[in-house]
Amino acid sequence: MEHTMPLIGDRFPDVEVQSTHGKLSLPEQYKGKWFVLFSHPADFTPVCTTEFVAFQKRYDTFKSLNTELLGLSIDQVFSHIKWVDWIRDTLNVEIQFPIIADTGKLAETLGMIHPNKGASTVRAVFIVDPKGIVRAILYYPMEIGRNMDEIVRMIRAFQTAEQHKVAVPAGWPENELIGDSVIIPPPGDIKTARERTKEHTCYDWWFCHKKLGG
């Protein structure tokens, strides 16, 4: 049976899951908060272990951005618990966020199982906003670990764009052209287009930018 993952802009599917923190109802559990759901191929594997440590090292940063973390794989809860204990005892890192023990149903619904990669979940990331809407989807191959700083950057960028009604450039806040400035949305009429270059810093009427707070 073919499963189609949600698209950007879709509501995250309503599901109840079992996790290392008990039963969770998604996305209702995180209503009013952003959350990052990320899948990993299996517990007790090297790349996944480095990823969980990296996520935990940034957990306070995510929480400061009103964002929760939620892991997932098709391992049972007891496996997750033993792995979390191993990370704590061996690496001195306490994993504080829940890990879903999926039966395969949620992973299939979200398109996390690649048909050419066996029954394991691939490295998928779903960024979900406080209204339960999927805002971004990232996929990594099993053999390459994720860059957690990019996921933090995306959350910051989403929140900045929404708060200030702007867009953010490549590599923000360290863009090669405009640094930490943000991009003003394109004008919707001729009058605004002609006035824009007088009011803002612009390369042209369709490419204007500003410093936040400026």
**Active-site choice (26, 48, 74, 127):** 48
6 part of a folded domain:
no
Q: Is the pLDDT reported for residue 103 higher than 90?
A: no
178 part of a folded domain:
yes
Question: pLDDT tens-digit profile of 120-152?
Answer: 677 889 999 999 999 999 998 888 999 999 999
Q: Are residues 109 and 198 in the same domain?
A: no
CA dihedral 12, 17, 21, 27 (to 10 degrees): 20
What 209-214 contacts at long range (C-beta under 8 Å, 24+ apart), as own/partner pairs, is 209/169, 209/178, 209/181, 209/182, 209/183, 209/184, 210/166, 210/181, 210/182, 210/184, 211/180, 211/181, 211/182, 212/160, 212/164, 212/180, 212/181, 212/182
Q: Are residues 115 and 178 in the same domain?
A: no
Q: Are residues 101 and 24 in the same domain?
A: yes
Question: pLDDT tens-digit profile of 174-207?
Answer: 999 999 999 999 888 999 988 888 888 999 999 9
- Residue 43 maps to which CATH number? 3.40.30.10
Q: Are residues 179 and 100 in the same domain?
A: no
What does the DSSP 8-state code read for residue 33? S
pTM of the model: 0.91
Q: Are residues 139 and 59 in the same domain?
A: yes
Q: Are residues 181 and 104 in the same domain?
A: no
Q: Are residues 91 and 187 in the same domain?
A: no
The boundaries of the domain holding residue 32 are 15-145
Q: Are residues 140 and 40 in the same domain?
A: yes
154 part of a folded domain:
no
Closest CA to 75 of 119, 9, 110, 108: 119
Please give the residue that has the higher pLDDT: either 157 or 111: 157
186 part of a folded domain:
yes
**113 neighbors 64 (Cβ within 8 angstroms):** no
85 part of a folded domain:
yes
- Residue 191 maps to which CATH number? 3.30.1020.10
130 part of a folded domain:
yes
Question: pLDDT tens-digit profile of 32-84?
Answer: 999 999 988 889 999 999 999 999 999 999 999 999 999 998 889 999 999 99
**208 neighbors 200 (Cβ within 8 angstroms):** yes
The residue among 89, 116, 145 that closes a domain is 145
Number of domains in the chain: 2
DSSP string for 62-110: HHHTTEEEEEEESS-HHHHHHHHHHHHHHH-----S-EEE--SHHHHHT
**193 neighbors 187 (Cβ within 8 angstroms):** yes
CA distances in angstroms from 52 to 18, 138, 153, listed in the order given? 19, 17, 18
Q: Can 202 be counted among the known catalytic residues? A: no
Q: Are residues 187 and 106 in the same domain?
A: no
Task: Please give the biggest Cα pair distance in the chain.
Answer: 65
Q: Are residues 115 and 49 in the same domain?
A: yes
